[in-house]
Amino acid sequence: MTANKRTFMVFMGPPGAGKGTQARILQEKLGLPQISTGDLFRYNLKNETELGLLAKSYMDAGDLVPDEVTIRMVEERLTRADCAPGAIFDGFPRNLVQVVALDEMLADEGGLSLVPMLTVDDDEVMRRITGRRICRTCGAVYHVEFNPPKVAGVCDIDGGELYQRDDDKADTVKNRLYVYYKQTSPLVGYYFAKELLAEVDGSQPPAAVTADLLAVLAEHGIAPG
Ligand code: ADP
Ligand code: AMP
Ligand code: ZN
């Protein structure tokens, strides 16, 4: 690894594992932006863009948005100046087509540096997803029980209203888990074979997960700047 190599990581794990929570914490510590395709789709939906309206039906069903639009959205995001030092991908790639597309996007950058995988069992995933609340204004993530805001229903950061994502309701969650196991979990084997995978016990409290992630990153030469 050269001194000025950009650092790109993919956070893997089932929906609700805590990828977004940890990516938001680490983006501050590491100076790497979080690229969450789910957040990007929700932002587009809120602003009623063509992309947001297209994504809506897939998101409501818990299915993947078509690869072509998802990949184009990520390519565009990577052209922004904040990606100069690299990025943390969260929720992308989600299938083998997207994996290959990401490899191509990063071919001139020496590829990914690491793929941390947050392991959490299905019962805990259900508890985390059904209790998740999101700020309408800034997208900050809370949990009614495990990570509650100071005032119920109100974002600590900006006072925004907290809401439950439509796709976090029990029926859609089951399909999202099905899609994860069928389409996304094979990527774990792909990254394992490339010697990029680093498993972290995601079932611990958030601060312990952050500490383990930072330790694994340090082992691979990725440290807070
Ligand atoms: P993902 O991005 O993997 O879908 P999130 O980061 O949105 O997952 O976390 C899912 C839910 O679980 C949120 O409500 C979040 O507050 C909560 N959560 C995240 N990490 C933990 C943790 N280590 N322990 C308990 N709850 C957590
Ligand atoms: P998330 O916020 O990561 O839970 O994603 C919410 C929803 O956005 C998913 O259920 C999909 O409908 C869509 N989505 C997010 N990322 C992707 C992706 N990489 N490929 C396809 N669809 C995605
Ligand atoms: Zn907020």
CATH number for the domain that contains residue 11? 3.40.50.300
Residue 187 lies in a domain: yes
Name the residue with the closest Cα to ligand 1, atom 18.
18
Distances (CA, A) of 221 to 14, 153, 217: 26, 40, 6
Q: Which residue in 77, 128, 132, 133 is the catalytic one?
A: 132
pLDDT of residue 4 exceeding 70: no
> What is the number of other CB atoms lying within 10 angstroms of the CB of residue 132?
21
Name the residue with the closest Cα to ligand 2, atom 6.
38
Distances (CA, A) of 59 to 28, 54, 100, 108, 130: 28, 9, 23, 32, 16
Q: Which residue in 6, 127, 136, 165 is the catalytic one?
A: 165
Tell me what the mean pLDDT of segment 187-193 comes to.
98
Parent domain of 152: 7-33+80-219
Residue 66 lies in a domain: no
Question: What does the alpha-carbon distance between residue 122 and residue 15 come to, in Å, rounded to a whole number?
Answer: 10
Residue 162 lies in a domain: yes
- What is the count of structural domains for the chain? 1
Active site residue 176: yes
Q: Of 129, 218, 217, 113, whose CA–CA distance to 180 is shortest? A: 129
User: What pLDDT score was predicted for residue 2?
Assistant: 45
Confidence at 44, pLDDT banded by 50, 70, 90:
very high
Residue 113 lies in a domain: yes
pTM of the model: 0.96
Residue 163 lies in a domain: yes
Confidence at 196, pLDDT banded by 50, 70, 90:
very high
Tokens representing 170 are 């029990």
Residue 161 lies in a domain: yes
